């Protein structure tokens, strides 16, 4: 049996740095980890220095001050309330490698011919190559003819919470049964539809209302996703004769797809307010 190799692909950003840290922590020495594929262009020297200063001075500083968040927003435009809660709970991650033999910048358009060619040149188009993906884009049908096994990390429990912001949508309309079964994380094989591929591993937050805010719930869902992705990668690394077998999702329980354009500011604000209200109602049984 051919040896498996696996890669991590993302678009950069603060959240991705937590995930990258897990992979470089677990697979720092000889391993089947082929490296990091970054969608985008190489980072300039000036930005590298600014990132290094930010991460090195704030690494693992739990309960960071507002000045840290402000600096983080300058460097990472994607730093929202969820990112703030991640930093509060876990600190700023240590700086991840931005260059070297295991870091590959492959271009910005994952479905463009040049980027596709660059990725396949590195990964190799065969069924023993696995690519763990944390991306905000959709793969076109051609990807599923390459033989590469694409694995997605989804910060909610499938098949109940497909797409973007499903957990927030459930909170906004106070659909608490749907909310509680959806908060968590899923690692699944990707197919030509969105969030419908076979499920490899998933986990659910047992007491979501024990968290002080919806942003903190989302933060833990995101970090749980990263931990599950690392666990699956460790299986590939440590068990050379084993590959994860995904379980097909049940179409009868599959919820509708939530789209990015539906996750409006109004929905996010309504969701946060509804969560706070419901949490206060359940306060006697919360048990923080």
Residue 35 sits in a domain whose CATH number is 3.40.50.170
Q: Mean pLDDT, to the nearest integer, of 130-151?
A: 92
Confidence (pLDDT) at 66: 80
Q: Residue 174 above 60 pLDDT?
A: yes
| Helix, strand, or coil (residue 168) | helix
Q: Mean pLDDT, to the nearest integer, of 171-180?
A: 96
The residue assigned the tokens 């919806």 is 214
Question: Is residue 268 domain-resident?
Answer: no
Average pLDDT, the chain: 90
Confidence (pLDDT) at 62: 64
Confidence (pLDDT) at 63: 63
Confidence (pLDDT) at 69: 85
Question: Is residue 276 domain-resident?
Answer: no
Q: Residue 208 above 60 pLDDT?
A: yes
Q: Are 183 and 233 in contact (CB under 8 A)?
A: no
Distance from the Cα of residue 46 to its chain's centroid = 27
Q: Mean pLDDT, to the nearest integer, of 138-159?
A: 93
The two structure tokens encoding residue 47: 């930005």
Question: Is residue 171 domain-resident?
Answer: no
Question: Is residue 279 domain-resident?
Answer: no
Confidence (pLDDT) at 60: 64
Side by side, the strands of the sheet bearing 149-154 are 103-107, 33-39, 5-10, 129-134, 149-154, 184-189, 199-204
Question: Is residue 239 domain-resident?
Answer: yes
Max avg pLDDT among 24-28, 83-87, 171-175, 254-258: 171-175
pLDDT band at 203 (very low <50, low <70, confident <90, very high): very high
Alpha carbon distance 195, 189 (integer Å) = 9
Question: Is residue 41 domain-resident?
Answer: yes
Alpha carbon distance 36, 176 (integer Å) = 38
The larger pLDDT score, comparing residue 283 to residue 44, is at 44
| Domain count for the chain | 1
Structural domain boundaries, residue 232: 5-162+185-249
How many other C-beta atoms are found inside a 10 Å radius of the C-beta of residue 253? Answer: 10
Q: Point out the least confidently predicted range of 51-55, 176-180, 216-220.
A: 51-55
Q: Are 127 and 145 in contact (CB under 8 A)?
A: no
Q: Residue 77 above 70 pLDDT?
A: yes
pLDDT band at 287 (very low <50, low <70, confident <90, very high): very low
Chain segment 80-99, per-residue pLDDT in tens? 888 888 888 888 888 778 88
Compute the chain's Rg from CA coordinates.
19
Q: Residue 196 above 50 pLDDT?
A: yes
Question: Is residue 21 domain-resident?
Answer: yes
Confidence (pLDDT) at 288: 46
Q: Residue 153 above 50 pLDDT?
A: yes
CA distances from 44 to 33, 49, 95, 99 (A): 26, 9, 15, 11
Question: Is residue 18 domain-resident?
Answer: yes
Q: Mean pLDDT, to the nearest integer, of 30-36?
A: 91
Alpha carbon distance 271, 170 (integer Å) = 8
Q: What is the pTM of this model?
A: 0.92
């Amino acid at each position: 049996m051919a040896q498996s190799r696996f890669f991590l692909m993302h678009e950069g950003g603060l959240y991705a740095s937590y995930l990258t840290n897990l992979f470089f922590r677990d697979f720092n020495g000889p391993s089947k980890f082929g490296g990091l594929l970054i969608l985008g262009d190489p980072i300039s020297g000036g930005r590298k220095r600014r990132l290094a200063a930010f991460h090195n001075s704030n690494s693992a500083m739990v309960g960071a001050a507002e000045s840290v968040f402000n600096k983080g927003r300058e460097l990472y435009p994607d730093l929202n309330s969820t990112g703030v809660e991640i930093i509060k709970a876990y600190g700023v991650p240590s700086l991840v490698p931005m260059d070297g033999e295991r870091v590959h910048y492959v271009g910005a358009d994952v479905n463009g011919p040049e980027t596709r060619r660059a990725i396949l040149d590195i990964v190799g188009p065969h069924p023993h190559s696995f690519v763990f993906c944390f991306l905000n884009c959709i793969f076109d049908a051609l990807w599923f003819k390459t033989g590469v096994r694409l694995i997605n990390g989804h910060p909610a429990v499938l098949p109940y919470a497909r797409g973007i912001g499903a957990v927030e949508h459930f909170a906004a309309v106070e659909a608490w049964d749907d909310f509680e079964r959806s908060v968590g994380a899923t690692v699944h094989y990707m197919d030509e539809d969105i969030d419908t591929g076979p499920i490899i591993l998933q986990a659910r937050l047992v007491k979501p209302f024990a968290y002080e805010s919806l942003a903190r719930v989302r933060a833990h869902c995101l970090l749980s996703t990263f931990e599950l992705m690392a666990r699956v990668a460790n299986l590939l690394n440590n068990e050379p004769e084993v590959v994860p077998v995904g379980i097909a999702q049940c179409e009868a329980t599959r919820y509708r797809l939530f789209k990015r354009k539906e996750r409006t500011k109004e929905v996010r604000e309504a969701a946060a307010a509804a969560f706070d209200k419901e949490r206060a109602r359940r306060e006697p049984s919360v048990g923080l």
